[in-house]
Amino acid sequence: MSRRGILVYAETIGSEIHPVTFELIGKARELAEKLDLEVWSTILGYGIADKAAELIYHGADKVYVYDDERLRDLNVIAHKSVLVELAKEIEPEIFLLGATPWGRSLAPRIAAALDTGLTADCIDLQIDKDGELLQIRPAFTGNILAHIKTSSRPIMATIRYRVMKMPQRDPSRKGEIIIRKFNDVDCDGIKCLGKVSERRINLADAEVVVAGGRGLKKKEDLVLLEELANLLGGVVGVSRPLVEEGWISKDHQVGFSGNVVKPKLYIACGISGSPQHLAGMRDSGMIIAVNSDPSAPIFRHADYGVVADLYEFIPKLILLLKNRKEM
């Protein structure tokens, strides 16, 4: 009898595998050992077949490959159709996708087609004492963490990037690569006419984020934060009002409707700490807050709170760091 498994969707950007995929395979591996399951993965796209081995090196036992021109574009109907067919055939116990914008657009269509439960944006997966899968996710704009169980199969979940550990790559690992073909795929109703712009910065991957809020008086003052960020090898983040003012592009927005970041160090300058902002940075390694108002909520979520005018504090800090760095 064939064994049952956990299916991980390998997201590709261009012809590269999105790193969240490997994190999911790592987590799936851990769950699979406890639940006595195999780890399966599937990769869809055009010119991606040679990437399948990477999925095995990171922990997959079996990889289903769909390399087809009709899957070149991010066409949600085409990708959905192929994945629904596969899921119906191999009947995974658990089906995981990255909670990237693409994953969050694709997964609910698959769940609805399979008539199964889907848990969004999980930050952890655990096995409880009854041997059942617990899916843990923030809700209410990050104010609560809900533990969720699914009664239907497959159990589907999207998982945030950079919350699971990246597994070790082991090029000696062996597994089975299964090349798949398909005949008809329905992708009539939607056409991707191409990329119109690239994301300029990648906040999600940043190790250091220096973030500014309405404590900044004018657009030009962002240079101050840029200087500090450069010094620390980090990038500039902002609270939403600065994006709405048109000071900086949305790629830099941290928060509920922006980017979720988890850097080693987050420095919040002139940010009050609204729930919507906290939802995007509360899991950072260390949080330092600079704010002139000692009662600002951000201080309750910080490791170090500095009550100061950022226009005095930041230049002094920059100076000090520059001096010490040269030593």
C-alpha to C-alpha distance for 84 and 70, rounded to whole angstroms: 16
Q: Which of 10, 280, 283, 317 binds ligand FAD (CB under 6 A)?
A: 280
Judged by CB under 6 A, the stretch of 60-68, 100-108, 195-203, 286-294 that binds ligand FAD is: 286-294
Neighbours of 85 (CB within 10 A): 15
In the complex, minimum distance from the CB of residue 221 to another protein, in angstroms, rounded to a whole number = 19
Q: Which of 127, 166, 192, 223 binds another protein (CB under 8 A)?
A: 192
Q: Which two tokens stand for residue 66?
A: 């769909």
Output the furthest CA–CA distance in the chain (Å, rounded).
Answer: 70
Judged by DSSP in three states, 26 sits in helix
Binding to another protein (CB under 8 A): which residues in 14-73? none
Are 7 and 114 contacting, i.e. CB atoms less than 8 angstroms apart? Answer: no
Is 143 one of the binding residues for ligand FAD (CB under 6 A)?
A: no
In the complex, minimum distance from the CB of residue 23 to ligand FAD, in angstroms, rounded to a whole number = 23
Are 12 and 75 contacting, i.e. CB atoms less than 8 angstroms apart? Answer: no
C-alpha to C-alpha distance for 255 and 238, rounded to whole angstroms: 9
Residue 309 contact, options another protein, ligand FAD, none, Cβ 5-8 Å cut-off depending on partner type: ligand FAD
In the complex, minimum distance from the CB of residue 76 to another protein, in angstroms, rounded to a whole number = 7
Binding to another protein (CB under 8 A): which residues in 99-118? 100-102, 104-109, 111-113, 115-118
Is 166 one of the binding residues for another protein (CB under 8 A)?
A: no
Is 214 one of the binding residues for ligand FAD (CB under 6 A)?
A: yes
In this structure, the strands spanning 94-98 and 5-10 are: parallel
Q: What is the DSSP letter of 169?
A: P
Closest to another protein by CB, 181 vs 200, is 200
The Cα angle at residue 78 between residues 74 and 84, in degrees rounded to 5:
120
In the complex, minimum distance from the CB of residue 160 to ligand FAD, in angstroms, rounded to a whole number = 15
C-alpha to C-alpha distance for 8 and 59, rounded to whole angstroms: 11
Is 257 one of the binding residues for ligand FAD (CB under 6 A)?
A: yes
Question: Can you list the alpha helix ranges (DSSP code H) found in 210-281?
Answer: 222-231, 240-244, 275-278
Is 217 one of the binding residues for another protein (CB under 8 A)?
A: no
**Phi and psi (nearest 5°) for 269?**
-115, 115
Is 249 one of the binding residues for ligand FAD (CB under 6 A)?
A: no
Q: Which of 28, 37, 133, 271 binds ligand FAD (CB under 6 A)?
A: 271
Is 150 one of the binding residues for another protein (CB under 8 A)?
A: yes
Question: Which positions touch ligand FAD (CB under 6 A)?
Answer: 213-215, 239-241, 253-258, 270-272, 274, 276-277, 280, 290-293, 296, 309-311
